[in-house]
Chain A
């Protein structure tokens, strides 16, 4: 841990200096600027506020809490849990958090339980700067909406006290979108020995006993669906909402594949996937982008391979607990507006995710960084992670290319199905088989 915090400090100062000038020039300084806009009494009391945020590890980063303290003055306590635990805690202990940093498919499960309150769009400073993916579901006006629990379908509720998802954008957001990405298969280019182009390549007999998929049912079933469709086994009406027959067919096929010895292991946590790949136990598997970066940082080649059928995407956002009111609620809105104002967005972009407010994030990134991460151009110089480690050498290109190429090729979103319970039962059979 200390290894990573130190460079942040040193690197942070230079960036901060840069920000100061940038802010002065552009009059940006959203956080500090916003505080003065509040009644004075709040500006003083807000320092005593502590907000408890919990969520999946990806964006529960202490650097964000530190920066929040610095810019806004109040304390943010971060707790990172796995996605199942997050859903559980949100529902069963709704008083244990103030801000939930969760994925949209979790939101679909959690929000109807009435443990969160909708966000007032009119209080969102950067709502109109959001990537349209989260409002209309379309990246560009021409693009088609991907299958699964697309964020915009659970992004709004019908009224301030409603738990019913709205079909059209309303004034009430379930969560403010913050982070998203397009996932695909990770490969070891040195060990696969041939070009990988399709999801079905994971079924290649050449990779027998050297593949893995993830054992988180709601996500694993989507990877399985991509593989099934690619292999021509089935054509789903909606991968993200399968019928019982489709679930049966998918699971039966998976069981058959498992019994034939195609899989080496099933992973459940991020580090397991890193270890499987780095140790050479598997050569092609389901993976998340930071896991690919982690394998590469060990000096082992690993590619986040773009595939013809497209990506499986996921998105997350920030929601507010039902019990929050008064000063704390104002602080939460303050925090959310600060989150969207660019610094965090740039931080997330530099980790290989995407910020939901790209315009503001751009102002906090160097042009060469923006060109590498967002435009898919070769890196002009070494690309650093936010912690100050070299992630990519100069000259390299991001796997999958530009933002439009990656997010424009989303085939489905992580989802919760109507037949969720049946799917989970069958999934357990697959694991037990």
Chain B
């Protein structure tokens, strides 16, 4: 009895441990291992060299690319947080029936029934030099020349990312807002709090776990993105993911692996920072 009792929890944890081990830990360790290997234009050689990291860390391209990616992450995070919070707020507090809330929430997810590549690419004919928006603006006499910055620019990248990732912010925030006990708000109002004070002193603190989870989603998605940056910037802008994709396409796996390890470290630090500020478990 004692043996089985002692074994039971291990057996229960085994499936998850196995899945995480085989599909997460082993690949990660492989990446870590390969990042120390040597390579030429076609093959990789088992070895222990550090120049993949040296080339990554001591090149201004890497730094510039990281800064660029971080810049995208911050801008997209700020916009999706703002938009996401207010959408969730509206759904949670201004829609009265639960059924309607659910319907409207599902409406938010409708665009996600198409692939995100399609949602992204459909911006291209819309924003292009002779695209719908530019033709409309020119014909309405608002601008004389088509606006060039709309497509193949950082503006386009941010726009597409906000479009793609806002729902990842809406969902967790909506979830936490729904859990807020309405009595708290009534109590605050009875105590004489203004609408703004209720928002900053009651709702925002209680929404923190949702905001934190949404932020983790958005930041990790933007940091790892490569296809949006490539298509929307017309290949003119770089992201870390794109840099890795380029290296892999040229068979420089060890260099890409080193890059991946560095990226993983950076993202983990960001996530740790977010979790440090907000204790997700405590407040859930």
Contact = CB atoms under 8 A, between A and B. Distances in A.
Nearest to A418: B41
Contacts of A88: 248-249, 251
Given A88-B251, A264-B234, A279-B125, A112 B42 contact: yes
Nearest to A431: B238
Q: How large is the interface on B (under 10, 10 to 19, 20 to 34, 35 or more residues)?
A: 35 or more
B152 A265 contact: yes
Contacts of B251: 84, 87-88, 91-92
Interface string A71-112: 000000000001011011001100000000000000001101
B64 A425 contact: no
A266 interface: yes
Given A215-B235, A416-B41, A84 B249 contact: yes
Given A109-B41, A217-B250, A424-B252, A431 B235 contact: yes
Interface in A401-422: 416, 420-421
B159 interface: no
B64 A113 contact: no
A280 B124 CA distance: 12
Contacts of A84: 249-251
Given A88-B251, A209-B148, A280 B129 contact: yes
A279 B130 contact: yes
A366 interface: no
B235 A279 contact: no
A41 interface: no
Contact of B236 (A85, A266, A280): A266
Nearest to B239: A432
A352 B233 CA distance: 32
B120 to A, nearest CB: 13
Contacts of A92: 251
Nearest to B39: A421
User: By CB atoms of chain A within 10 A, which of B64, B131, B236 has the most?
Assistant: B236
Contacts of A311: none
Interface in B191-248: 230, 233-236, 238, 242-243, 246-248
B234 A424 contact: no
B118 to A, nearest CB: 14
A134 B262 CA distance: 46
Given A263-B236, A265-B235, A428 B243 contact: yes
Nearest to A215: B235
B40 A421 contact: yes
Given A91-B42, A421-B40, A265 B234 contact: yes
Nearest to A106: B42
Nearest to A92: B251
Contacts of B257: none
B175 interface: no
Interface in A251-309: 258, 263-268, 275-276, 279-281
Contacts of A431: 235-236, 238, 242, 246
A429 interface: yes
Contacts of B252: 421, 424
A420 B41 contact: yes
B43 A91 contact: yes
20 contacts: A84-B250, A87-B251, A88-B248, A88-B249, A91-B42, A113-B43, A265-B152, A265-B235, A267-B234, A268-B230, A268-B235, A279-B131, A281-B128, A281-B151, A281-B234, A416-B41, A424-B250, A428-B243, A432-B65, A432-B243
B241 to A, nearest CB: 12
B236 A428 contact: no
User: By CB atoms of chain B within 10 A, which of A110, A268, A428 has the most?
Assistant: A428
B55 interface: yes
B106 interface: no
Given A425-B59, A432-B65, 10 more contacts: A84-B251, A88-B248, A109-B41, A217-B250, A258-B236, A264-B152, A275-B124, A279-B129, A416-B41, A428-B247
Interface string A211-223: 0100101000000
A277 to B, nearest CB: 12
User: By CB atoms of chain B within 10 A, which of A215, A266, A281 has the most?
Assistant: A281
A416 B42 CA distance: 11
Given A109-B41, A110-B42, A424-B252, A266 B246 contact: no
A60 to B, nearest CB: 19
B129 A429 contact: no
A266 B128 CA distance: 15
B61 interface: yes
Contacts of A212: 234
Interface in B168-183: none
A217 to B, nearest CB: 7
Interface in B145-164: 148, 151-152
Contacts of A109: 41-42
Contacts of B68: 432
Contacts of A428: 61, 238, 243, 246-247
Interface in B59-105: 59-61, 64-65, 68
User: By CB atoms of chain B within 10 A, which of A215, A280, A424 has the most?
Assistant: A424
B77 to A, nearest CB: 22
A281 B124 CA distance: 11
Nearest to A212: B234
A109 B39 CA distance: 13
Contacts of A85: 249
B65 to A, nearest CB: 5
Nearest to B234: A265
Contacts of B235: 215, 265-268, 431
The 10 closest A-B pairs by CB, nearest first: A265-B234, A266-B235, A432-B238, A84-B249, A429-B61, A432-B61, A265-B152, A280-B130, A109-B42, A91-B42
A336 B206 CA distance: 71
Contacts of B230: 268
Contacts of A416: 41
A209 to B, nearest CB: 6
Given A91-B43, A267-B235, A432 B64 contact: yes
A279 B128 contact: yes
Contacts of A112: 42
